[in-house]
Amino acid sequence: MWRQGRAAAAVFSYSENILRGNVRVGSVRCFRGGRHLVPSESATEPSAGITQNVGESPGDNSVVRLTRSFLLYSTVVAAVCSSAAAEPVFRTADIFPPGGKHVHSSSLVECPGGSLLACWFHGSGERRANDVVIQGARLPAGHRQWTAPFLMADTPGLPDCNPVLFVDRHERLWMFWIVVVANRWECSQLKYRRADSAAGPAAPSWSWQDVIVLRPGDRFRQVMKQRFEELEVDDGMWAEYAPPYHRMLLDAAADPYRRQTGWMTRIHPLTLPGGRILLPLYSDGFNASLMAVSDDDGVTWTASDPIIGLGPIQPTVVRRNDGTLVAFCRDSGDRPARVLTAQSADDGFSWSAAVDTDIPNPGSSLEVIRLADGRWLMVANDTEDRRNRLTVLLSDDGGATWPVRRQVEPADAGGRSFSYPSVIQTRDGLVHLTYSRTDDTGRCIRHCVLNTEWIENGQR
């Protein structure tokens, strides 16, 4: 009944938009899928009946309009009811065969033409391996076989890591990533490339490339100090030659150079209803996070206040119905190992202190998205010490609780690892994941397709 109720609400909302002329009817696609556009935050009230179009005079054509509207409404009813009764979908496939190179930190988008584009970093290691490059592959619309990997970015002699893909509201493709300077994460340089079109059989045709330099000011240190006081941080033992953890961070935060370097990508950006883009970033130097904020479609970027806690990094951000933004972060602090969360009430400029949730996290990346039906979906390693289990979780109360969950990849004694998921919902309502997979045959990036019916259908 719960899902039927949501289906009925979608029917009413969509049918009224048809009658108002707000929906182009060429194919029945109720949702513009993907990570980047936030669904409507308010439900549309059902219309009292089918009425004459605004601005048209009555006449013989009114019957035709009435019939056409009824047929469109019936089509949408059938489509939504069919979706509500959909069979569980679950399948996985490796994008390329496992090999000896280190492949990790994938990102996934749906292109405007319906194809998928994935990317990841590939080389003999991570920050200390100067042969690391960004590779990608495409899955054409309607196909099950990915293309052969192709080169997406290579800074000669330096490691390229942590790529993130994004399709903006103008359907331009962006790729953000870091170049690791001096083989140290805290010295990383933030770069991006942009393509006017995401379409194509292989690597995108990039039209612009630049470096993003953020300038967090003195307020960065002030907010850090305030949040540590709110959290009543206890550093345990210390000495003048070994000052407390939080005091060392405050000293580092007073240095403008350290504040401006080492901000790294991992999770998809989020576009807010007003057009603001939030690019989640984190620092291994400060063990903290912030948002790169753009109000001009990526022409300029400014730094938000930091997200401070005991190790909140690699944030993923979702928007509630009331406009509150919720960030969920990887735990890079002390035990208990838990997903951390913080909130923003001003579209991502300031954030509360990051605190523990009840979801275990072994120091591994996770991602949360808002689905077309309003529920939130999380993909995470819900263990405390290993990345040998990957789970999807559902929330119907804005991330307060996650009562529905199902294992995507099993925990076992075989030494297998499944980590760093990237997740989107495509226009057809399906959920797609890519993630790193490691076992005794090698390393690869795996692609998984599922739907919410599969998640709700019980344990695998």
Q: 3-state secondary structure string, the chain? A: CHHHHHHHHHHHHHHHHHHHCCCCCCCCCCCCCCCCECCCCCCCCCCCCCCCCCCCCCCCHHHHHHHHHHHHHHHHHHHHHHHHCCCCCEEEEECCCCECCEEEEEEEEECCCCCEEEEEEEECCCCCCCCCEEEEEEECCCCCCCCCCEEEECCCCCCEEEEEEEECCCCCEEEEEEECHHHCHHHCEEEEEEECCCCCCCCCCCCEEEEECCCCCCHHHHHHHHHHHHHCCCCCCCECCECCHHHHHHHHHCCHHHHHCCCECCCCCEECCCCCEEEEEEECCCCEEEEEEECCCCCCCEECCCECCCCEEEEEEEECCCCCEEEEEEECCCCCCEEEEEEECCCCCCCCCCEEEEEECCCCCCEEEECCCCCEEEEECCCCCCCCCEEEEEECCCCCCCCEEEEEECCCCCCCEEEEEEEEECCCCCEEEEEEEEECCEEEEEEEEECHHHHHCCCC
Judgement on whether residues 144 and 239 belong to the same structural domain of the protein: yes
Judgement on whether residues 288 and 428 belong to the same structural domain of the protein: yes
What does R_g of the chain's alpha carbons equal in angstroms? 23
Low-confidence ranges of the chain (pLDDT < 50): 1-84, 459-460
Judgement on whether residues 416 and 325 belong to the same structural domain of the protein: yes
User: What pLDDT, on the 0 to 100 scale, is given for residue 412?
Assistant: 59
- Residue 230, both tokens: 């709110």
Q: Which of 43, 69, 84 is the last residue of a domain?
A: 84
Judgement on whether residues 62 and 201 belong to the same structural domain of the protein: no
Judgement on whether residues 429 and 415 belong to the same structural domain of the protein: yes
Give the pTM. 0.82
Judgement on whether residues 9 and 130 belong to the same structural domain of the protein: no
Number of structural domains found in the chain: 2
Is residue 267 within 8 Å of residue 314, measured between CB atoms? yes
User: What pLDDT, on the 0 to 100 scale, is given for residue 415?
Assistant: 67
User: CB neighbours (10 Å) of residue 153?
Assistant: 21
Judgement on whether residues 110 and 52 belong to the same structural domain of the protein: no
User: What pLDDT, on the 0 to 100 scale, is given for residue 185?
Assistant: 97
User: What pLDDT, on the 0 to 100 scale, is given for residue 236?
Assistant: 72
d(CA 316, CA 330): 9
User: What pLDDT, on the 0 to 100 scale, is given for residue 26?
Assistant: 34
> Which residues, 6 or more positions from 262, have their beta carbon under 8 angstroms from its beta carbon?
185, 186, 187, 188, 283, 284, 285, 286
Judgement on whether residues 113 and 62 belong to the same structural domain of the protein: no
Domain region containing 136: 90-456
At 320-351, the pLDDT tens digits run 999 999 999 999 998 899 999 999 999 999 99
Judgement on whether residues 43 and 104 belong to the same structural domain of the protein: no
Q: Which of 84, 100, 124 is the last residue of a domain?
A: 84
Q: Which of 19, 51, 84 is the last residue of a domain?
A: 84
Judgement on whether residues 185 and 239 belong to the same structural domain of the protein: yes
Judgement on whether residues 194 and 305 belong to the same structural domain of the protein: yes
Question: What is the domain-level CATH number for residue 379?
Answer: 2.120.10.10
Judgement on whether residues 315 and 381 belong to the same structural domain of the protein: yes
